[in-house]
Protein backbone atom coordinates (compact mmCIF):
# COMPACT_ATOMS: atom_id res chain seq x y z
CA UNK A 1 0.00 0.00 0.00
CA UNK A 2 1.46 3.43 -0.90
CA UNK A 3 1.93 6.11 1.74
CA UNK A 4 -0.77 8.12 -0.03
CA UNK A 5 -3.39 5.38 0.12
CA UNK A 6 -2.42 4.61 3.72
CA UNK A 7 -3.10 8.24 4.62
CA UNK A 8 -6.40 8.12 2.78
CA UNK A 9 -7.43 5.01 4.69
CA UNK A 10 -6.71 6.43 8.15
CA UNK A 11 -10.08 6.68 9.89
CA UNK A 12 -11.13 10.30 10.33
CA UNK A 13 -12.82 11.72 13.43
CA UNK A 14 -16.22 12.02 11.81
CA UNK A 15 -15.82 8.42 10.75
CA UNK A 16 -18.60 6.34 12.37
CA UNK A 17 -16.29 3.30 12.43
CA UNK A 18 -13.76 5.14 14.59
CA UNK A 19 -16.42 6.37 17.01
CA UNK A 20 -17.82 2.85 17.21
CA UNK A 21 -14.41 1.39 18.00
CA UNK A 22 -13.81 4.05 20.66
CA UNK A 23 -17.11 3.04 22.29
CA UNK A 24 -16.21 -0.64 22.09
CA UNK A 25 -12.78 -0.16 23.68
CA UNK A 26 -14.27 1.89 26.52
CA UNK A 27 -17.18 -0.54 27.02
CA UNK A 28 -14.95 -3.60 27.21
CA UNK A 29 -12.55 -1.91 29.63
CA UNK A 30 -9.58 -2.19 27.24
CA UNK A 31 -8.97 1.57 27.20
CA UNK A 32 -9.76 4.34 29.66
CA UNK A 33 -7.94 7.39 28.26
CA UNK A 34 -7.32 9.22 25.00
CA UNK A 35 -3.69 8.06 25.04
CA UNK A 36 -4.66 4.39 25.36
CA UNK A 37 -7.28 4.80 22.63
CA UNK A 38 -4.77 6.40 20.26
CA UNK A 39 -2.28 3.57 20.88
CA UNK A 40 -4.85 0.81 20.34
CA UNK A 41 -6.45 2.40 17.30
CA UNK A 42 -3.19 3.49 15.68
CA UNK A 43 -4.79 6.90 15.06
CA UNK A 44 -3.42 10.39 15.68
CA UNK A 45 -4.18 11.79 19.18
CA UNK A 46 -5.95 14.77 17.58
CA UNK A 47 -8.20 12.42 15.58
CA UNK A 48 -9.06 10.41 18.70
CA UNK A 49 -9.70 13.55 20.72
CA UNK A 50 -12.11 14.93 18.19
CA UNK A 51 -14.00 11.59 18.02
CA UNK A 52 -14.16 11.54 21.84
CA UNK A 53 -15.37 15.16 21.78
CA UNK A 54 -18.23 14.25 19.44
CA UNK A 55 -19.19 11.26 21.59
CA UNK A 56 -19.16 13.49 24.68
CA UNK A 57 -21.36 16.04 22.92
CA UNK A 58 -23.90 13.24 22.30
CA UNK A 59 -23.69 12.13 25.94
CA UNK A 60 -22.34 8.73 24.93
CA UNK A 61 -19.00 9.23 26.67
CA UNK A 62 -18.21 11.07 29.90
CA UNK A 63 -14.91 12.19 31.36
CA UNK A 64 -13.76 11.97 34.97
CA UNK A 65 -10.77 13.79 36.50
CA UNK A 66 -7.69 12.64 38.32
CA UNK A 67 -6.18 9.27 38.37
CA UNK A 68 -2.89 10.79 39.41
CA UNK A 69 -0.08 8.59 38.15
CA UNK A 70 2.68 8.96 40.76
CA UNK A 71 2.30 12.65 41.34
CA UNK A 72 2.39 13.88 37.72
CA UNK A 73 -0.37 15.79 35.96
CA UNK A 74 -3.85 14.52 36.87
CA UNK A 75 -5.04 12.19 34.13
CA UNK A 76 -8.57 12.30 32.85
CA UNK A 77 -10.27 8.95 32.43
CA UNK A 78 -13.05 8.24 29.98
CA UNK A 79 -16.08 6.06 30.52
CA UNK A 80 -19.37 5.39 28.81
CA UNK A 81 -22.00 8.08 29.38
CA UNK A 82 -24.87 5.82 30.38
CA UNK A 83 -22.54 3.37 32.04
CA UNK A 84 -25.16 1.79 34.26
CA UNK A 85 -26.53 -0.29 31.39
CA UNK A 86 -25.98 -4.02 30.93
CA UNK A 87 -26.74 -6.82 28.47
CA UNK A 88 -28.06 -10.33 29.01
CA UNK A 89 -26.43 -13.14 27.06
CA UNK A 90 -26.74 -16.84 26.36
CA UNK A 91 -24.53 -19.45 24.76
CA UNK A 92 -26.44 -22.37 23.26
CA UNK A 93 -25.05 -25.88 23.45
CA UNK A 94 -26.72 -29.09 22.33
CA UNK A 95 -28.86 -29.63 25.42
CA UNK A 96 -28.01 -26.70 27.67
CA UNK A 97 -27.64 -22.94 27.55
CA UNK A 98 -25.11 -21.00 29.54
CA UNK A 99 -26.59 -17.61 30.58
CA UNK A 100 -25.28 -14.48 32.28
CA UNK A 101 -25.21 -10.70 32.56
CA UNK A 102 -22.55 -8.55 30.89
CA UNK A 103 -21.95 -5.26 32.71
CA UNK A 104 -20.56 -2.24 30.86
CA UNK A 105 -16.83 -2.44 31.59
CA UNK A 106 -16.67 -6.04 30.48
CA UNK A 107 -17.49 -7.90 33.71
CA UNK A 108 -19.64 -11.04 33.45
CA UNK A 109 -21.94 -11.86 36.39
CA UNK A 110 -24.84 -14.21 37.28
CA UNK A 111 -23.52 -17.08 35.19
CA UNK A 112 -25.66 -20.22 35.28
CA UNK A 113 -26.53 -23.19 33.10
CA UNK A 114 -30.12 -24.03 32.17
CA UNK A 115 -31.63 -26.84 30.06
CA UNK A 116 -32.14 -25.89 26.42
CA UNK A 117 -33.54 -28.28 23.82
CA UNK A 118 -31.84 -27.07 20.63
CA UNK A 119 -33.19 -30.05 18.68
CA UNK A 120 -36.82 -29.04 19.37
CA UNK A 121 -36.30 -26.08 17.03
CA UNK A 122 -36.44 -22.32 17.71
CA UNK A 123 -40.20 -21.82 18.21
CA UNK A 124 -40.27 -24.46 20.95
CA UNK A 125 -36.90 -23.73 22.56
CA UNK A 126 -36.54 -19.92 22.55
CA UNK A 127 -39.49 -18.84 24.76
CA UNK A 128 -38.13 -20.66 27.83
CA UNK A 129 -34.69 -19.17 27.32
CA UNK A 130 -36.20 -15.71 26.87
CA UNK A 131 -38.05 -16.09 30.18
CA UNK A 132 -34.77 -16.98 31.93
CA UNK A 133 -33.00 -13.94 30.42
CA UNK A 134 -35.98 -11.72 31.27
CA UNK A 135 -35.75 -12.82 34.93
CA UNK A 136 -32.02 -11.96 34.95
CA UNK A 137 -32.75 -8.54 33.46
CA UNK A 138 -35.41 -7.88 36.13
CA UNK A 139 -32.88 -8.55 38.90
CA UNK A 140 -30.59 -5.83 37.56
CA UNK A 141 -33.27 -3.27 36.69
CA UNK A 142 -35.12 -3.99 33.47
CA UNK A 143 -35.01 -0.33 32.37
CA UNK A 144 -31.18 -0.57 32.23
CA UNK A 145 -31.19 -3.51 29.81
CA UNK A 146 -29.35 -2.33 26.69
CA UNK A 147 -29.02 -5.48 24.59
CA UNK A 148 -29.32 -9.24 24.26
CA UNK A 149 -26.55 -11.48 22.92
CA UNK A 150 -26.72 -15.06 21.70
CA UNK A 151 -23.88 -17.45 20.83
CA UNK A 152 -24.95 -20.22 18.46
CA UNK A 153 -23.24 -23.50 17.52
CA UNK A 154 -23.54 -22.97 13.77
CA UNK A 155 -22.81 -20.58 10.90
CA UNK A 156 -24.49 -17.20 11.42
CA UNK A 157 -25.35 -14.71 8.70
CA UNK A 158 -24.61 -11.41 10.46
CA UNK A 159 -26.39 -9.20 7.96
CA UNK A 160 -29.77 -10.91 8.16
CA UNK A 161 -29.41 -12.23 11.71
CA UNK A 162 -30.17 -15.89 10.91
CA UNK A 163 -28.40 -19.24 11.29
CA UNK A 164 -27.52 -20.79 7.93
CA UNK A 165 -27.39 -24.54 7.30
CA UNK A 166 -26.33 -25.48 10.83
CA UNK A 167 -25.39 -29.18 10.92
CA UNK A 168 -26.08 -29.43 14.66
CA UNK A 169 -29.22 -27.29 14.91
CA UNK A 170 -32.09 -29.10 13.14
CA UNK A 171 -35.00 -26.79 12.34
CA UNK A 172 -33.02 -23.56 12.80
CA UNK A 173 -32.03 -22.93 9.18
CA UNK A 174 -32.92 -19.32 8.20
CA UNK A 175 -35.02 -18.78 11.34
CA UNK A 176 -34.91 -15.01 12.11
CA UNK A 177 -33.33 -15.37 15.57
CA UNK A 178 -32.21 -11.75 15.90
CA UNK A 179 -35.57 -10.25 14.92
CA UNK A 180 -37.32 -12.68 17.28
CA UNK A 181 -35.13 -11.51 20.18
CA UNK A 182 -35.51 -7.81 19.34
CA UNK A 183 -39.31 -8.18 19.18
CA UNK A 184 -39.34 -10.07 22.48
CA UNK A 185 -37.03 -7.75 24.46
CA UNK A 186 -37.43 -4.40 22.70
CA UNK A 187 -33.65 -3.79 22.69
CA UNK A 188 -30.93 -4.45 20.07
CA UNK A 189 -29.91 -8.11 19.80
CA UNK A 190 -26.69 -9.65 18.50
CA UNK A 191 -26.33 -13.23 17.34
CA UNK A 192 -22.98 -14.75 16.52
CA UNK A 193 -21.21 -18.04 15.94
CA UNK A 194 -19.78 -19.71 19.07
CA UNK A 195 -16.11 -19.69 18.05
CA UNK A 196 -16.31 -15.97 17.16
CA UNK A 197 -17.95 -15.27 20.53
CA UNK A 198 -15.18 -17.15 22.31
CA UNK A 199 -12.51 -15.25 20.37
CA UNK A 200 -14.02 -11.86 21.24
CA UNK A 201 -14.71 -12.78 24.87
CA UNK A 202 -11.18 -14.03 25.46
CA UNK A 203 -9.58 -11.13 23.57
CA UNK A 204 -11.38 -8.69 25.89
CA UNK A 205 -9.91 -10.44 28.93
CA UNK A 206 -6.33 -10.48 27.64
CA UNK A 207 -3.70 -7.69 27.67
CA UNK A 208 -4.63 -5.30 24.83
CA UNK A 209 -1.12 -5.58 23.34
CA UNK A 210 -2.10 -9.03 22.07
CA UNK A 211 -3.55 -7.70 18.82
CA UNK A 212 -3.71 -10.93 16.78
CA UNK A 213 -4.99 -14.23 18.03
CA UNK A 214 -6.66 -17.47 17.05
CA UNK A 215 -9.22 -19.02 19.38
CA UNK A 216 -9.82 -22.70 18.71
CA UNK A 217 -12.99 -24.24 20.06
CA UNK A 218 -12.45 -27.94 20.61
CA UNK A 219 -15.68 -29.61 21.62
CA UNK A 220 -17.97 -32.07 19.89
CA UNK A 221 -17.07 -30.06 16.78
CA UNK A 222 -14.08 -27.86 15.99
CA UNK A 223 -14.26 -24.16 15.19
CA UNK A 224 -11.93 -21.18 15.23
CA UNK A 225 -12.32 -17.41 15.63
CA UNK A 226 -9.70 -14.95 14.41
CA UNK A 227 -8.78 -11.60 15.97
CA UNK A 228 -6.75 -9.41 13.60
CA UNK A 229 -5.52 -5.97 14.64
CA UNK A 230 -7.62 -6.10 17.80
CA UNK A 231 -10.96 -6.99 16.27
CA UNK A 232 -12.83 -9.98 14.99
CA UNK A 233 -11.82 -10.88 11.45
CA UNK A 234 -14.75 -12.41 9.59
CA UNK A 235 -13.29 -12.92 6.14
CA UNK A 236 -15.01 -12.32 2.81
CA UNK A 237 -18.11 -14.41 3.46
CA UNK A 238 -17.99 -14.62 7.25
CA UNK A 239 -16.31 -18.04 7.20
CA UNK A 240 -12.84 -17.07 8.48
CA UNK A 241 -11.41 -19.67 10.86
CA UNK A 242 -13.11 -22.59 9.11
CA UNK A 243 -10.30 -25.08 9.88
CA UNK A 244 -12.56 -28.02 10.63
CA UNK A 245 -12.84 -29.01 6.97
CA UNK A 246 -9.14 -28.87 6.13
CA UNK A 247 -8.19 -32.29 4.82
CA UNK A 248 -5.57 -34.21 6.75
CA UNK A 249 -3.68 -37.15 5.36
CA UNK A 250 -4.31 -39.30 8.42
CA UNK A 251 -8.07 -39.07 7.88
CA UNK A 252 -7.71 -40.89 4.53
CA UNK A 253 -11.23 -41.22 3.20
CA UNK A 254 -13.41 -41.02 6.30
CA UNK A 255 -16.64 -39.33 5.11
CA UNK A 256 -17.44 -35.97 6.71
CA UNK A 257 -20.81 -34.25 7.22
CA UNK A 258 -19.69 -31.58 4.72
CA UNK A 259 -19.83 -34.13 1.91
CA UNK A 260 -16.07 -34.34 1.55
CA UNK A 261 -13.74 -37.00 2.95
CA UNK A 262 -10.69 -36.82 5.19
CA UNK A 263 -11.56 -33.61 7.04
CA UNK A 264 -9.86 -32.66 10.32
CA UNK A 265 -13.27 -32.92 12.01
CA UNK A 266 -13.34 -36.68 11.30
CA UNK A 267 -10.18 -37.32 13.35
CA UNK A 268 -9.81 -34.52 15.91
CA UNK A 269 -13.28 -33.48 17.14
CA UNK A 270 -15.14 -34.75 20.19
CA UNK A 271 -17.58 -36.52 17.87
CA UNK A 272 -14.65 -38.25 16.13
CA UNK A 273 -13.20 -39.35 19.49
CA UNK A 274 -16.56 -40.88 20.44
CA UNK A 275 -16.56 -42.83 17.15
CA UNK A 276 -12.91 -43.90 17.49
CA UNK A 277 -13.27 -45.12 21.09
CA UNK A 278 -16.49 -46.97 20.34
CA UNK A 279 -14.73 -48.76 17.51
CA UNK A 280 -12.15 -49.79 20.11
CA UNK A 281 -14.90 -51.20 22.31
CA UNK A 282 -15.23 -48.44 24.92
CA UNK A 283 -18.69 -47.51 26.18
CA UNK A 284 -18.81 -43.80 25.30
CA UNK A 285 -21.86 -41.91 24.02
CA UNK A 286 -20.74 -38.27 24.20
CA UNK A 287 -17.71 -36.00 24.22
CA UNK A 288 -18.27 -35.62 27.99
CA UNK A 289 -17.80 -39.40 28.37
CA UNK A 290 -14.50 -39.21 26.48
CA UNK A 291 -13.33 -36.34 28.70
CA UNK A 292 -14.32 -38.25 31.83
CA UNK A 293 -12.31 -41.31 30.76
CA UNK A 294 -9.27 -39.26 29.76
CA UNK A 295 -9.45 -37.29 33.03
CA UNK A 296 -9.33 -40.63 34.87
CA UNK A 297 -6.17 -41.45 32.86
CA UNK A 298 -7.79 -44.27 30.88
CA UNK A 299 -4.88 -45.24 28.58
CA UNK A 300 -7.00 -45.85 25.47
CA UNK A 301 -8.87 -42.53 25.82
CA UNK A 302 -5.70 -40.60 26.67
CA UNK A 303 -3.94 -41.98 23.61
CA UNK A 304 -6.85 -41.03 21.35
CA UNK A 305 -7.08 -37.53 22.85
CA UNK A 306 -3.36 -36.95 22.40
CA UNK A 307 -3.57 -38.08 18.79
CA UNK A 308 -6.52 -35.71 18.18
CA UNK A 309 -4.45 -32.85 19.63
CA UNK A 310 -1.63 -33.75 17.26
CA UNK A 311 -3.89 -33.63 14.19
CA UNK A 312 -5.35 -30.30 15.29
CA UNK A 313 -1.82 -28.99 15.88
CA UNK A 314 -0.78 -29.96 12.34
CA UNK A 315 -3.60 -28.01 10.74
CA UNK A 316 -3.09 -25.10 13.14
CA UNK A 317 0.64 -24.97 12.39
CA UNK A 318 -0.03 -24.03 8.78
CA UNK A 319 -2.43 -21.28 9.87
CA UNK A 320 -0.09 -20.02 12.59
CA UNK A 321 2.84 -19.87 10.15
CA UNK A 322 0.71 -17.94 7.71
CA UNK A 323 -0.99 -15.55 10.15
CA UNK A 324 1.77 -15.12 12.77
CA UNK A 325 -0.54 -14.42 15.74
CA UNK A 326 0.54 -13.25 19.20
CA UNK A 327 -1.50 -16.01 20.81
CA UNK A 328 -3.39 -19.23 20.23
CA UNK A 329 -6.11 -19.86 22.80
CA UNK A 330 -7.72 -23.26 23.27
CA UNK A 331 -11.32 -23.40 24.45
CA UNK A 332 -14.08 -25.99 24.48
CA UNK A 333 -14.31 -29.14 26.59
CA UNK A 334 -11.29 -30.94 25.09
CA UNK A 335 -9.07 -28.03 26.15
CA UNK A 336 -9.63 -29.10 29.77
CA UNK A 337 -7.47 -32.17 29.07
CA UNK A 338 -3.74 -31.63 29.63
CA UNK A 339 -2.62 -34.34 27.14
CA UNK A 340 -4.69 -32.66 24.42
CA UNK A 341 -3.26 -29.18 25.09
CA UNK A 342 0.27 -30.58 25.34
CA UNK A 343 -0.08 -32.36 22.00
CA UNK A 344 -1.36 -29.21 20.24
CA UNK A 345 1.45 -27.16 21.76
CA UNK A 346 4.27 -29.54 20.84
CA UNK A 347 2.92 -29.89 17.31
CA UNK A 348 2.94 -26.09 16.91
CA UNK A 349 6.52 -25.81 18.17
CA UNK A 350 7.53 -28.61 15.83
CA UNK A 351 5.63 -27.39 12.77
CA UNK A 352 6.08 -23.61 12.91
CA UNK A 353 8.97 -21.37 11.97
CA UNK A 354 11.06 -20.23 14.99
CA UNK A 355 10.27 -16.57 14.21
CA UNK A 356 6.58 -17.41 14.53
CA UNK A 357 6.83 -19.32 17.82
CA UNK A 358 9.45 -17.09 19.45
CA UNK A 359 6.91 -15.04 21.43
CA UNK A 360 3.82 -17.12 20.69
CA UNK A 361 1.48 -17.69 23.62
CA UNK A 362 -0.29 -21.06 23.43
CA UNK A 363 -2.68 -21.53 26.33
CA UNK A 364 -6.12 -22.49 27.50
CA UNK A 365 -8.67 -19.68 27.36
CA UNK A 366 -8.31 -17.74 30.63
CA UNK A 367 -12.10 -17.37 30.78
CA UNK A 368 -12.53 -21.12 30.39
CA UNK A 369 -16.13 -22.14 29.78
CA UNK A 370 -17.27 -18.49 30.06
CA UNK A 371 -15.38 -17.16 27.03
CA UNK A 372 -18.28 -17.58 24.60
CA UNK A 373 -20.78 -16.07 26.99
CA UNK A 374 -18.52 -13.06 27.58
CA UNK A 375 -18.22 -12.61 23.82
CA UNK A 376 -21.98 -12.78 23.27
CA UNK A 377 -22.42 -10.14 25.98
CA UNK A 378 -19.79 -7.91 24.40
CA UNK A 379 -21.41 -8.23 20.97
CA UNK A 380 -24.75 -7.23 22.53
CA UNK A 381 -23.30 -4.11 24.19
CA UNK A 382 -21.42 -3.28 20.98
CA UNK A 383 -24.60 -3.45 18.93
CA UNK A 384 -26.51 -1.38 21.49
CA UNK A 385 -23.79 1.28 21.48
CA UNK A 386 -23.61 1.33 17.69
CA UNK A 387 -27.37 1.83 17.58
CA UNK A 388 -27.21 4.62 20.18
CA UNK A 389 -24.46 6.29 18.17
CA UNK A 390 -26.48 5.97 14.98
CA UNK A 391 -29.57 7.48 16.65
CA UNK A 392 -27.57 10.33 18.18
CA UNK A 393 -25.80 11.28 14.95
CA UNK A 394 -28.98 10.91 12.86
CA UNK A 395 -30.76 13.42 15.12
CA UNK A 396 -27.72 15.64 15.02
CA UNK A 397 -27.64 15.97 11.24
Predicted confidence (pLDDT) per residue in 208-240, tens digit? 889 999 999 999 999 999 999 999 999 998 899
Q: Does domain 3-80 have CATH number 1.10.10.10?
A: yes
Domain with CATH 1.10.10.10 in the chain: 3-80
pLDDT of res. 24: 87
Q: How many CA within 13 A on the CB side of residue 169?
A: 29
CA dihedral for 321, 325, 326, 328, sign (positive or negative): negative
Sheet arrangement for strand 145-152: 107-115, 96-103, 86-92, 145-152, 189-193
pLDDT of residue 5: 40
| pLDDT, tens digit, 9 for 90 and up, residues 70-99 | 666 667 888 887 667 899 999 999 889 999
pLDDT at residue 258 in the model: 87
- Cα separations (Å) of 356 from 86, 331, 340, 344? 39, 21, 21, 15
pTM of the predicted structure, to 2 decimals: 0.90
Spatial CB neighbours of 289, under 8 Å, sequence gap ≥ 6: 274, 283
CA distance linking residue 132 with residue 140, whole number of Å = 13
Query: What backbone torsions phi and psi does residue 220 show, to the nearest 5 degrees?
Result: -60, -35
> Which superfamily does 86-198+372-396 belong to?
ATPase, nucleotide binding domain (3.30.420.40)
Strand-strand pairing, 156-157 and 162-163 = antiparallel
CA distances from 100 to 35, 220, 267, 370, 394 (A): 32, 23, 33, 9, 32
Could you give the residue ranges of the DSSP H alpha helices within 154-243?
177-185, 194-205
Q: What residues have CB less than 8 Å from 80, skipping those under 6 apart? A: 23, 26, 27, 60, 61, 62, 104, 385
Query: Once rounded to an integer, what is the mean pLDDT over residues 168-173?
Result: 92
Share of the chain above pLDDT 70, in %: 93
- pLDDT band, very low/low/confident/very high, at 396 (cuts 50, 70, 90): low
Listed in sequence order, the residues at least 6 apart from 105 whose beta carbon sits closer than 8 Å to its beta carbon are 27, 28, 29, 83
144, pLDDT greater than 50: yes
Percent of the chain having pLDDT more than 90? Answer: 74
Fold of 208-365: Nucleotidyltransferase; domain 5 (3.30.420)
Q: What is the pLDDT of residue 361?
A: 97
Task: Give the chain's mean pLDDT.
Answer: 91
Amino acid sequence: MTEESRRRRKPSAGHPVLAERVLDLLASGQAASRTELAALLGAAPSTVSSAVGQLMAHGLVAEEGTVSSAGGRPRKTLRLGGRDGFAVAAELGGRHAHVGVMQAGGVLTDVTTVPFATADGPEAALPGLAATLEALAEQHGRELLRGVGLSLPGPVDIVSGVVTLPSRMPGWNRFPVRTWLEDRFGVPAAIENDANCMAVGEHGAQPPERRQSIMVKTGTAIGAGVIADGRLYRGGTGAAGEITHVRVEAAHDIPCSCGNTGCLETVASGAALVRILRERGLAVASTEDVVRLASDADPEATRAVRQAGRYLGMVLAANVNFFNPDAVYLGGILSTLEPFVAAVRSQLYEGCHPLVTEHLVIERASLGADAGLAGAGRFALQRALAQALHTATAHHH
